[in-house]
């Protein structure tokens, strides 16, 4: 099973992000060069776990439920290009608000999933919502070129409360990934 943990976004925030995607799609070069995240798939990834044997699922869910989930106030704040230098691979939206709480939750997830063979993240954790992926990264799309196209008036969103995280299964299909919630961990 291909698994990840994520914070869920409230429906009004997803709706606003979908409208932002529609605005960005009006730029012809973005429409053909980007693969857009479906609104139902928008979330804030906490930890990508990768392939986990289904026989470990029960123990994983039990371990995740032991992690204290704080209530957090967040805002989708600004556009973010990943990586920040060179060809962009991901067009995302960054968060502001109680980011220390997200970082602390991520830090608790790391040792919880290591016994299942999940490696520690090698790079700094940057909470974000993926809006699109660049199909063929090149110097055509750098943070500098994309920031000229992105309308700065589209963000920020209203603030919202996050009071749970979830464990998801991700199934890759030709039409894009399909996510299925396996467990919810409330605050």
Question: Going residue by residue through the chain (187 aa), what tens digit of pLDDT does each one get?
Answer: 999 999 999 999 999 999 989 888 887 677 788 899 999 999 999 999 999 999 999 999 999 999 999 999 999 999 999 998 889 999 999 999 999 999 999 999 999 999 988 999 988 899 999 999 999 888 888 888 887 777 777 889 899 999 999 999 999 999 889 999 999 999 8
β-bridge partners, 179: 170
Instruction: Calculate the CA dihedral of residues 33, 172, 109, 14 and round it to 10 degrees.
Output: 60
Q: What is the DSSP string of 16-50?
A: HHHHHHHHHHTSHHHHHHEEEPPGGG-EEEEEEEE
Which domains are delineated in the chain? 2-186 (3.90.1140.10)
Q: Structure pTM?
A: 0.91
Contact 31, 6 (CB under 8 A): no
Smallest CA-to-CA distance from 46 within 106, 1, 122 is with 106
Give the Cβ contact number of residue 133 at 10 Å. Answer: 18
Instruction: Show the tokens assigned to 57.
Output: 């699922």
């Amino acid at each position: 099973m291909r698994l990840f943990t994520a914070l869920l976004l409230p429906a009004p925030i997803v709706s606003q992000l979908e409208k932002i995607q529609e605005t960005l799609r009006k730029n012809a070069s973005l429409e053909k060069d980007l693969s857009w995240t479906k609104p139902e798939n928008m979330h804030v990834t906490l930890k990508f776990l990768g392939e986990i044997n289904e026989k470990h699922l029960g123990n994983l869910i039990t371990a995740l439920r032991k992690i204290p989930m704080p209530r957090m106030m967040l805002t989708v704040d600004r556009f973010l290009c990943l990586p920040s230098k060179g060809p962009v691979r991901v067009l995302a939206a960054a968060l502001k608000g109680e980011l220390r709480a997200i970082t602390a939750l991520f830090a608790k997830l790391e040792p919880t999933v290591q016994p299942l063979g999940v490696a520690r993240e090698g790079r700094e954790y940057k909470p974000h919502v993926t809006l699109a992926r660049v199909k063929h990264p090149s110097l055509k799309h750098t943070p500098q070129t994309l920031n000229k196209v992105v309308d700065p008036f589209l963000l920020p969103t209203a603030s919202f409360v996050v009071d749970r995280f979830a464990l998801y299964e991700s199934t890759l299909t030709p039409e894009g990934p399909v996510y299925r919630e396996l467990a919810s961990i409330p605050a």
